Structure 1
Amino acid sequence: MSGFVALVWEGTGAPVAAEGLVRALDAQPQLAPRASAPGLRVWSWGRWSLAVRRAGAAAIVGDIYGAVPEADADLTPRRWGRALIEGAWGRYVAISPGAGGAPPAALRDPSGALEAFAWRRAGVWVVASGFEPLPARLWPDEIALDWPAVVDCLERPLAALAQTPLRGVQALTPGRLLHLGRSAAEEDLWRPSDFVGAAAPADAAAALAGRVAQAVSVLSRGRERALVEVSGGLDSAIVAAGWAGGGGRCADGFALNYAGDRPEGDERTWAQALCQELGLRLAVRVKRPRPWRVADLAWGSGAVRPSFAGLDADRDADTAALARRTGAGAILSGGGGDAAFFQAPSPKVVADYLAAKGIAHAFDPFVQDVARWLGRSIWSVLLASARGREGAPRLAMSRFLRAEARSAGVGRPHPWLADAEGLPPGKRLQVAALVAAHEGYGPSRRAETAPVLQPLLSQPVLELCLAIPAWTHVAGGVDRGLARQAFADRLPPQLVVRRAKGSLTSLYARQAAASLDVLRPLLLDGALASAGVLDRDRAAEALTAERLMRDGEGLALLRAVPVEAWVRHWQARIPDAAAARR
């Protein structure tokens, strides 16, 4: 995965510590110096090169489109960052020197497409996408495993996306400015809640089609040789249609579909119909259960936090290999579409509708459509929509954690969710889904090979989708109803009206059952069980071939696999804070 590292300090002259760190980074053969300014140095690494541009005294890592203001002595980092977000968008991390008495600051763009973390080393701030390939002398002054945050990775994954399980390392939240002074104070410059309730366009479908087409076109510009993932579902089809409509052609003529080896996971019929409609040739890879190897499960364990983006190791490695073989400059994905377009079936959309229209509209056709969609009576839907806020659903992983561990997490909500408390219920659900989509940006084998572009999570698309009411998104009582309407003239009719979705649960159950000689010792005799986080007895009961094939409950334990590998990696390298009960 391509990455970057920047050193930031206050003042025009480099302190002695900064000079030593600069020399250490210059000595790393994998690192290429990319930008230099008073109080700022930037390097990059990786198979594909991240763009780095100067904007006055500031540096912007990644791709940015639109009006980019130059940072100077008259613009504090806050004012500059706000101007940047309002005038431009992209996949970037911006680093601004101090001005007007304010310390330097770093900003991760609202899409969150590039990972970014910050820590202090010998009085100098380090802002980077990760640790690799940094020498240990660049690691934080005080670094240790943070067990409550490790628990959050399993029990509260949305909260975990705003933190790291390494003490001394701070995650940059998308749309938030991190002030790099003596302490790291954060400030919101972009929040999903700012766009909820904004005036939605009169023709929402046309606006959505135009905004998505623009995002796909701009992000893929100059990357005509791309792999386009086509799952057979709606979201990836919309991205493929936007790319093909902009004159793009897949690398060596390929769109890419992964089909399960059983009918319930084989969606190639819809992928073939799409590619025939768009004039794209389709490469179909049939997935079959292959036992996992330890190397598969431990890949990426040296990252700042556990990564779930490459958990399907076979598919991830195969996509990366195909991208290398065809020289693809990007991998286009429909990731995040279920959140942006509102896929989740829920009576909460009725609560939003009645809050806006009034209780006299309780029996409107829309409410009846939602009841049919959910397979419930209209009275049941109305009752559920009128209830107070529902508690967060328990993850399937929760039952495999010891009670002491479940209560030991950090427990702080993700800033986007804390800020969404006053939003209508349906919109809170949408914001939570958008937070969850950021898991897809973690390290993966395919992202090492080429940029993974997710246009449906781009800032312009998010801002429009947040402004559109939840009930408009599910017009007609259909998940992603507005998106279906917006792209009906560009997609095969059978795909637009399709409601079902393929399932690979059987394949993963068979693969897990074939991998028990690896999974059982990894989890039952591992660091999580030793620390009192994982309930060894419950895990052992679920990790049997019979149970996996019968009810698949043990598949929830797969989330613990990258966390276990990550903990083992870091226990061998840094102090263990030992905050878990042992």
Structure 2
Amino acid sequence: MSPVENPDADAQAAALFDRLIRADSRRQTVFELPGLRLCVRSHIADWPIHRMEGGHSIVIGDVFERNLRYRAPPELGPFGQNDGQHICRTLSARFWGRYLAMGVDAARGPWLMRDPSGAFPVYLWTLGPVVIVSNTLASDLLAIAGGPPVIDWARMAILVADPVQMGIISPLRHVTMPVPGVLKHWTGKADEIGDGFKDEPVWSPTEAASRCETEPAKLAEIVESCLTLWGKGHQRVSLDLSGGLDSAIVLGALSKRPDGPIVHCLNINFSSAGDERPYARAAAARWSAPVTEALVEPEDLDYLQALTGPRHPRPLLYGMDVLMDRLSCEAATAAGASLALTGQGGDAMFMQPATVFIAADYLKCRGFDRHFLELVAVAARRLNRSVWSILRDIARPPAKTAHGDADLASIAGPALQPVLGTSFDHPWQVEARGLAPGKRFQIDMLVNCQIFHAPTRTAQHFRLCHPLLSQPIVEACLSLPLWVLSPDIRDRGLARDLFAPLLPDVIRLRRSKGNTTNFYNRTITAHLGTLRPFLLDGQLVAHGLIDRDTLDALLDPHCLLLRNVHGLIARLVTLEIWAAGWA
């Protein structure tokens, strides 16, 4: 991508593009205009490619008609005019899916937009007046471009302080990840502060949350329609069936249609984390779906195996469990599946967490009445707190805590300490500041869900999809008040009622939720002999983000028994593995 009005930059981009094509015979040119050239490798050439009317724009990826409920045809249109903003607004309103739209605007030159769900991975690597747009940074691409980008340690400090940012920020210098649903016009004027793009928001969660409330009963229809479309064209799909509510809903919505694909399920049972197999078996039996069970022990999961894998433009917090990722990939291979599904995102969209925000939103929107007091009582029971403490938090909400807990602060090096008192907000969170606190909380969770769209092993070999994060489902759930999504003592109460016909009673009536915290705690302890020197002699310590002496004390086995810091250590391991690949 290069600015049209700069012939030298366009010539530089054309030369780089030609070298890419010649370097790998599997690359195919699929689109070429002054200012914009696009090629794909043959192993992903089966991604649908949609050409827009007029030939000045292209969409690569899965695109579905919003109202007609079928996959969009190869030719999209009519869009009426060759204008990037008009095209992107039409795309986000009439279609949904997992895609990247690109084109050359008649007035302002090259543009792109990542689909509003964020499911299509996109990285922008700025090289002077030229920008490389890719779903990964392949080794030959790095060589042709003059070598790999270097680590930006200021960005790394942000990721250490706030792991949510791993789904949003690449710690590589001059590499950025576009915000989903934002139209980006390439200006060719990048510097150390800006990425060279002019951004125009086209879609946002706040806009979705501010729309007219979706009829609650329509939510089931929307979910089932999305699952039907994801399944079209696939004879066999695989599903990570955890035993929980969300993956059971995905299984039911996909299996209820007689013309749907065959669903092969995988249940991974984590030792010492509670036995989820009876729930997964019940869900699979409800639809006569084959299910494979895998029992894993903490000793089986070696995080450092990720060092032998490919390096990625961003750290993989989701995908750090290389054992689960491998088992999912192997199960999909054995089943002959062309699509791999999960239930990720259901907690955020259907509202699983217990929170005072449900009652707080009701009070703000409906006022003080009997139902408000009922919601306060529900919050008190679910949080195991007094009614008076719930009312106090509603009247005086606790201030948003700065990123960086006490344990992280205790091991922070000089390069990390200035970051710990800073709050890092995604553009979605900034725009949501005027919403009710519960909706802001739900959008916070949606931002966190961006970590699931990671280049894991399963995502590389199969079209890994998290269907509950599909744009129509996100929009419907954001438009519904929290007290509708979670109306009583049951978490995700609306979803339990709407999808009751798809669920076995043992899952629909279940009140507990599977928890793997103990398993991952034991994993850190079991592998401390190798993880300890890896962290103490690693890049985070060398660049002053982590203090070696205090980290050494924290990694003492006796200290780990007394302090619940395993999540923090896993985060550091994730970032250290990533840094080792790029340092």
Normalised TM-score (structure 1): 0.90
Amino acid at match of 1:196: A
Distance 1:219 1:325 in 2: 20
Contact 1:119–1:169, Cα closer than 8 Å, also in 2: yes
Kindly state the Cα deviation for residue 57 of structure 1 after the two structures are TM-superposed.
Answer: 1.5
Deviates more, 1:81-90 or 1:527-536: 527-536
Partner of 2:193: none
- In 2, the alpha carbon distance for the partners of 1:486 and 1:347 equals 24
Match of 2:129 in 1: 123
User: Aligned-pair distance for 1:527?
Assistant: 0.6
| Pairing of 1:348-387 with structure 2 (within 5 A) | 348-361=357-370, 364-387=373-396
2:27–2:42 Cα contact (<8 Å) kept: no
Pick which of 361-370 and 512-521 moved more: 361-370
1:350 aligned counterpart, secondary structure: helix
Q: Within 5 Å, which residues of 2 pair with 1:257-336?
A: 257-262=267-272, 264-290=273-299, 293=302, 296-298=305-307, 302-336=311-345
| Bigger Cα displacement from structure 2, 460-469 vs 101-110 | 101-110
Question: Distance between the aligned counterparts of 1:250 and 1:224, measured in 2?
Answer: 5
What's 1:50 paired with? 47
How far apart, CA to CA, are the structure 1 residues paired with 2:323 and 2:164?
A: 26
Structure 1 residues 420-439: Cα deviation after superposition (integer angstroms, max 9, x where no partner) = 11110000000000010110
How large is the Cα RMSD of the aligned pairs?
2.6
Q: Which residue of 2 aligns with 1:579?
A: none
d(CA) in 1 for partners of 2:63 and 2:331? 27
Instruction: Check whether the contact 1:225–1:250 (CA below 8 A) recurs between aligned residues.
Output: yes
Deviation at residue 174 of structure 1 after TM alignment? 0.7
Query: Alpha-carbon deviation of 1:498?
Result: 1.1
1:234 to 242, 245, 250: 245
Report the secondary structure of 1:343's partner residue.
coil
Structure 1 residues 25-48: Cα deviation after superposition (integer angstroms, max 9, x where no partner): 112326421512323322223755
Structure 1 residues 157 and 187: alpha-carbon distance in aligned structure 2, compared to 1, 3 A threshold: farther
1:578 aligned residue: none
Change (3 A) 1:412 1:503: closer
Give the Å deviation of 1:70: 4.3
How much has 1:87 moved relative to structure 2? Answer: 0.8
Write out aligned runs for 1:431-450 (5 A): 431-450=443-462
Aligned with 2:108: secondary structure? coil
* Distance (Å, rounded) in 2 between the aligned partners of 1:138 and 1:472: 54
Matched to 2:204, the amino acid is R
> 2:30 matched to which residue of 1?
35
Show the counterpart of 1:25: 20
**Residues 360-388 of structure 1, C-alpha deviations (whole Å, 9 max, x = no match):** 45753233223222222222211111214
Which secondary structure does the structure 2 equivalent of 1:65 belong to? strand
Alpha-carbon distance, 1:134 to partner: 4.1
* Kept after mapping to 2: 8 A contact 1:33/1:44: yes
Give, as a single letter, the amino acid of the residue that structure 1 aligns with 2:180: P
Contact 1:547 1:553 survives alignment (8 Å): no
**Cα–Cα, structure 1 residues 507 and 154, in superposed 2: closer, same or farther, change >3 Å?**
same
**Range with bigger deviation, 298-307 or 81-90:** 298-307
Structure 2: which amino acid aligns with 1:255?
C
> Matches of 1:486 and 1:294 in 2, distance apart?
39
Residue of structure 2 equivalent to 1:61: 60
Q: Give 1:469's match in structure 2, choosing from 475, 481, 503.
A: 481
Gap change, CA 1:425 and 1:296, over 3 Å in 2 = same
Contact 1:112 1:173 in 2 (8 A): yes
Distance of aligned partners of 1:122 and 1:155 in 2 relative to their CA distance in 1, 3 Å threshold: closer
Which stretch of the first structure deviates more once superposed, 289-298 or 168-177?
289-298
**How many Å apart are 1:275 and its aligned residue?**
1.1
Partners of 1:197 and 1:321 in 2: how far apart? 42
**1:50-129 map, 5 Å:** 50-55=47-52, 56-66=55-65, 69-70=76-77, 74-99=81-106, 101-121=107-127, 123-129=129-135
CA contact (8 A) 1:196 1:467 kept: yes
The alpha-carbon deviation at position 232 of structure 1 amounts to: 0.5
Distance 1:71 1:143 in 2: 40
Q: Distance in 2 between matches of 1:98 and 1:294?
A: 46
**Shift, 1:282, TM fit:** 1.4
Q: Aligned-pair distance for 1:393?
A: 6.4
Contact 1:37/1:57 (<8 A) preserved? no
- Residue 506 (structure 2) pairs with residue 494 (structure 1): yes
Q: For 1:111 and 1:475, locate their aligned partners in 2 and report how far apart those are by CA, in whole Å.
A: 26
1:209 counterpart letter in structure 2: A
- Report how far residue 235 of structure 1 moved: 0.7
Shift of 1:270: 0.5
Match of 2:191 in 1: none
Cα distance in 1 between the residues matched to 2:375 and 2:259 = 38
Give the partner amino acid of 1:37: E
d(CA) in 2 for partners of 1:142 and 1:136? 5
Deviates more, 1:340-349 or 1:381-390: 381-390
Q: What are the superposed Cα offsets for residues 332-372 of structure 1, whole Å, 9 maximum, x if unpaired?
A: 11111111111121101111000011134575323322322
The code of the aligned residue for 2:112 comes to A
Structure-1 separation of matches of 2:25 and 2:448: 32
Structure 1 unaligned segments of length 5 or more: list them. Answer: 1-6, 572-582
Question: Over residues 250-308 of structure 1, what are the superposed CA-to-partner deviations in whole Å (9 max), with x where a residue is unaligned?
Answer: 76x6311001223x432011111111112212111111122655751325562111112
Q: Which stretch shifts more, 392-401 or 124-133?
A: 392-401
Is the deviation greater in 295-304 or in 219-228?
295-304
After superposition, where does 1:393-408 map in structure 2 within 5 Å? 394=403, 398-399=408-409, 400-402=411-413, 404-408=415-419
Offset at residue 192 of structure 1 (A): 0.5
Which letter maps to 1:194? E
Where do 1:423-438 residues align within 5 Å? 423-438=435-450
Asked if the contact 2:2–2:131 (Cα under 8 Å) also holds between the matched residues in 1, the reply is yes
Equivalent residue number for residue 188 of structure 1: 201
Farther-moved stretch of structure 1 (267-276 vs 500-509)? 500-509
The CA distance in 2 between the partners of 1:138 and 1:344, in whole Å, is 48
Tell me which amino acid in the other structure corresponds to 1:58. S
Return the letter of the residue paired with 2:242. Answer: S
Which piece of structure 1 moves more, 179-188 or 369-378?
369-378
TM-score w.r.t. structure 2 length? 0.89
Aligned partner of residue 238 in structure 2, secondary structure: strand
After superposition, the Cα gap between the structure-2 partners of 1:166 and 1:363, relative to the gap in structure 1 and judged at 3 Å, is closer
Offset of residue 140 of structure 1: 8.4
Cα deviation per residue 1:520-546 (whole Å; 9 max; x = unaligned)? 111111010111112323332332444
Which residue of structure 2 lines up, in the alignment, with residue 574 of structure 1? none
Asked if the contact 1:69/1:83 (under 8 Å) is kept, the reply is: no
Aligned partners of 1:64 and 1:92 also within 8 Å = yes
- Mapped partners of 1:316, 1:381: distance in 2: 40
User: Could you tell me how far 1:321 is from its partner in structure 2?
Assistant: 1.9
Helix, strand or coil: the match of 1:201? coil
Amino acid across the alignment from 1:258: I
Alignment of 1:496-511 (within 5 A): 496-511=508-523
The answer to whether the 8 Å contact 2:48/2:60 transfers is: yes
Pair 1:210 & 2:221 matched: yes
SS at match of 1:104: strand
